[in-house]
Chain A
Amino acid sequence: DIQMTQSPSSLSAAVGDRVTITCRASQGIRTYLNWYQQKPGKAPKLLIYAASSLQSGVPSRFGGSGSGADFTLTISTLQPEDFATYYCQQTYTISPITFGQGTRLEIK
């Protein structure tokens, strides 16, 4: 299985801050990397697919980059509604699809 490791596991930031979350794969996955946002009691929401493509309707302050084994999700200017948990997901292998352990973004 491909292991996905996110860092940090939790993060405190203020509205207006720039935030970066990192995801590392245990082997190269080209750009088969997606990012999801999950708020408490809600389903995950797709933000970024193919490492850097912004899903329709997602604000442009969200950005993704990387290829191979190292990836980042950047939120350029934090908004109050961005406080949530973020997950990376690899879809390079048909099975199993694996997720990172999540990064909880909290208000400072």
Chain B
Amino acid sequence: QVQLQESGPGLVKPSETLSLTCTVSGGSINNYYWNWIRQPPGKGLEWIGYIYYSGSTSYNPSLKSRVIISVDTSKNQFSLKLSSVTAADTAVYYCARKVVSPYYFMDVWGKGTTVTVSS
């Protein structure tokens, strides 16, 4: 079955760019929407954005000016870049697959990776 695995640095300095990659295994990246969601310590879930396998994207307006999500179909991977990070960006970051026909829901999630923003 499809599995997702997040990877990337666990510590990022303030004002720098957070970069994470999600690797899709056991299935194709094609024909789905691929999402990033984060969860600050002790808090709820926040949707960051998604990318379709074709490359079209949608971002949370609250983060849009700092976010870029990209896809590499040849590697079955998609990535997140979040620029100008602050302590408020400290969170567990999840990648998730979104099914879109006919209803939209996230049926497969990665285990999550903790990112701490600190000098």
* Residues of A contacting B47 in the complex (Cβ-Cβ under 8 angstroms): 96-99
Q: Interface residue tally of chain B, by bracket?
A: 20 to 34
A31 at the interface (CB under 8 A from B): yes
A2 to B103, CA, bound (A): 17
A20 to B60, CA, bound (A): 30
Identify whether the interface residues of A are mostly helix, strand, loop, or mixed. loop
Return 29 A-B CB contacts under 8 Å, by A number.
Answer: A1-B61, A32-B103, A32-B104, A34-B105, A34-B106, A36-B106, A43-B96, A43-B109, A43-B110, A43-B112, A44-B94, A46-B107, A49-B103, A49-B105, A49-B107, A50-B103, A50-B105, A55-B107, A94-B58, A95-B49, A95-B60, A96-B47, A96-B62, A97-B47, A98-B47, A99-B44, A99-B46, A99-B47, A102-B44
Q: How far does the Cβ of B23 sit from chain A's closest Cβ, in whole Å?
A: 15
Residues in chain B within 8 A of chain A (CB atoms): 35, 44-47, 49, 58-62, 94, 96, 98-99, 103-107, 109-112
Q: Which residue of A lies closest to B35 (CB)?
A: A97
Q: How far does the Cβ of A42 sit from chain B's closest Cβ, in whole Å?
A: 8
Q: Which residue of A lies closest to B47 (CB)?
A: A97
Residues in chain A within 8 A of chain B (CB atoms): 1, 31-32, 34, 36, 42-46, 49-50, 53, 55, 87, 89, 91, 94-102
